[in-house]
């Protein structure tokens, strides 16, 4: 097979004509598909419907400690929910506080609290001229949107196969006290599906930040979200590593059941050191009288324990795996060997990260859109929406049905080819 780069102008021109004809066909099909967000499909949600039956008017809504979950109170969350979410987060129940339905909301609140009240007694960030965050790229757009919203300057840190470039992280964090945090998705990262290596986690735990109020924002969104039972990534538990390294307070871990039970109606939590929890409680006790304990109880009664979670996640995997494989197969079949694209085959998480030729991502995404397939906006995986090479595209295979997905992936591959040819012809 010839790579596009070695083709002559004539070959490219003729190829372009073929591809344009195929594209027209797709346009005629009136597709309306969405591969933009990491949104579970209806079929995945159906496997949690039993959760709607565990509580009813005949059942006691008291938790194990005898507290009436219907009433006010219990700021930290009921014990059995702290145990369950603690197990998912690999921390003791005493190191976790359960919030509402959204871990994103916890992250937002964590930054917001640091802005107005600082971190464990530090100067509130809003009183400082400059605040910076490190952002491993490509990364999660909603993380970057939060820091941008608060006027926090974002610094790109390239991802490697083992996680963020730790030489750069160490150098920056130890030398600049305006750097107050780093966004991390340590397991099956968004969008690359990379899991941080043991060495990376250990280096995080051993960081010596110039800023006392520097924290690692460890968004463990996909901790139990494997695609293959026999090929699971393992990520070292960071809270314990930080403790061992004499850095007990340096990390906030975030987790939720959004992609375990129902995305809109799960439970989310923060896991961190007792010092950090005490600091958080000072604010939380003013912010709310307590989060939804009935929903916590519903989750525990349905999932029971970590084994129950793992069993449940196998069902998700059974639905997700064929979708990931279908996209990867189509990418392999259509694009491999052409020298115009690369991608990572993940073992878990919600995304496939795709690299086009430099300068092509935006055009590919808009071409796909014109033919009815919505992708995540090009650039979204970078702070400020600015992908310096304009090459990264996040593919989210979860939401469409398998048949729709195959069509969408075929169209996507076609758009990649077409835009690449156009690009090469311009040169």
Q: How far is the CB of 424 from its own copies (least distance, A)?
A: 39
Cα three-residue angle 95-97-103, rounded to 5 degrees: 115
Task: Report angle CA 227, 269, 204 to the nearest 5 degrees.
Answer: 70
**Least Å distance between CB 417 and its own copies?**
32
Kindly calculate the radius of gyration of the chain based on its CA atoms and give it in whole angstroms.
23
Number of other residues whose CB lies within 10 A of the CB of residue 11: 13
Instruction: Tell me which H or E stretch contains 392.
Output: strand 392-395
**Shortest Cβ distance from residue 283 to its own copies (Å)?**
7
Closer of 203 and 394 to its own copies (Cβ): 394
Give me the helices (H) in 122-224, please.
Answer: 141-149, 166-175, 198-205
Backbone angle region of 36, left / alpha / beta, with phi > 0 → left and psi within -120 to 50 → alpha: alpha
The residue among 78 and 172 lying less far from its own copies, judged by its C-beta, is: 78
Binding site for its own copies (CB under 8 A): 37, 39-40, 42, 45, 48-50, 52-53, 55-57, 59, 61, 68-74, 100-102, 104-105, 108-109, 112, 115-117, 124, 126-127, 142, 145-146, 149-150, 258, 262-265, 283, 286-295
In angstroms, give the least distance from the CB of 131 to its own copies.
12
The minimum distance between CB 45 and its own copies, in angstroms, equals: 5
Whichever of 27 and 108 has its CB closer to its own copies, that residue is 108
Paired with 354 in beta bridges are 343, 393
**Which C-beta is closer to its own copies: that of 203 or that of 293?**
293
Distance between CA atoms of 81 and 395, rounded to whole angstroms?
Answer: 33
- What is the smallest separation between the CB atom of 140 and its own copies, expressed in angstroms? 12
Q: Which residues contact 143 (CB under 8 A, 6 or more apart)?
A: 107, 135, 183, 217, 219
Reduce the secondary structure of 222-270 to three states and give it as a string: CCCCECCCCCCCCCCCHHHHHHHCCCCCCEEEEEECCCCCCCCCCCEEE
- Give the residue with the Cβ less far from its own copies, 99 or 343: 99
Q: Which is nearer to its own copies, 108 or 306 (CB)?
A: 108
Nearer to its own copies (CB atom), residue 129 or residue 230: 129
User: In the complex, what is the shortest distance from the CB of residue 194 to its own copies, in angstroms, rounded to a whole number?
Assistant: 23
Of the pair 215, 259, the CB lying nearest its own copies is at: 259
DSSP secondary structure string, 128-146?
SS--EEEEEES--HHHHHH
Minimum distance from residue 386 beta carbon to its own copies (Å): 18
């Amino acid at each position: 097979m010839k790579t596009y780069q070695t083709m002559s102008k004539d070959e490219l021109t003729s190829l372009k004509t073929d591809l344009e004809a195929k594209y027209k066909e797709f346009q005629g099909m009136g597709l309306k598909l969405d591969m933009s967000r990491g949104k579970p499909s209806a079929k995945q949600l159906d496997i949690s419907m039993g959760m709607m039956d565990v509580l009813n008017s005949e059942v006691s809504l008291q938790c194990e400690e005898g507290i009436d979950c219907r009433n006010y109170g219990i700021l930290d969350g009921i014990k059995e929910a702290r145990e369950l979410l603690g197990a998912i987060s690999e921390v003791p129940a005493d190191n976790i506080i359960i919030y509402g339905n959204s871990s994103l909301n916890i992250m937002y609140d964590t930054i917001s609290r640091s802005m107005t009240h600082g971190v464990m007694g530090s100067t509130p960030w809003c009183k400082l001229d400059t605040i910076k965050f490190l952002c491993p790229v490509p990364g999660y757009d909603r993380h970057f949107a939060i820091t941008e919203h608060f006027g926090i300057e974002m610094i790109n840190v390239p991802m490697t196969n083992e996680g963020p470039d730790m030489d750069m992280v160490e150098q920056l964090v130890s030398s600049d006290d305006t750097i107050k945090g780093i966004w991390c998705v340590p397991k099956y990262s968004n969008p690359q599906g990379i899991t941080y290596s043991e060495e990376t986690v250990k280096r995080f735990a051993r960081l010596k930040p110039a800023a006392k109020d520097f924290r690692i924002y460890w968004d463990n969104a996909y901790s139990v979200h494997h695609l293959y039972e026999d090929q699971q990534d393992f990520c070292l538990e960071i809270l314990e590593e930080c403790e061992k390294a004499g850095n007990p307070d340096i990390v906030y871990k975030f987790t939720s059941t959004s992609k375990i039970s129902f995305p809109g109606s799960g439970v989310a939590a923060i896991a961190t050191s007792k010092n950090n929890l005490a600091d958080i409680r000072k604010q939380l006790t003013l912010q709310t009288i307590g989060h939804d304990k009935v929903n916590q109880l519903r989750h525990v009664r349905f999932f029971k324990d970590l084994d129950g979670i793992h069993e449940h996640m196998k069902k998700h995997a059974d639905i997700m795996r064929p979708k990931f494989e279908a996209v990867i197969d189509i990418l392999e079949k259509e694009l491999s060997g052409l020298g115009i694209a690369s991608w990572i085959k993940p073992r878990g998480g919600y995304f496939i990260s795709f690299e086009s030729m430099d300068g092509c991502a935006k055009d590919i995404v808009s071409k796909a859109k014109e033919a009815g397939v919505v992708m995540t906006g090009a650039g979204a995986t970078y702070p400020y929406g600015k992908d310096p090479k304009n090459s990264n595209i996040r593919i989210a295979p979860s939401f469409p049905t398998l048949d729709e997905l195959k069509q969408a992936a075929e169209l996507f591959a076609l758009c990649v080819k077409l835009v690449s040819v156009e690009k090469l012809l311009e040169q």
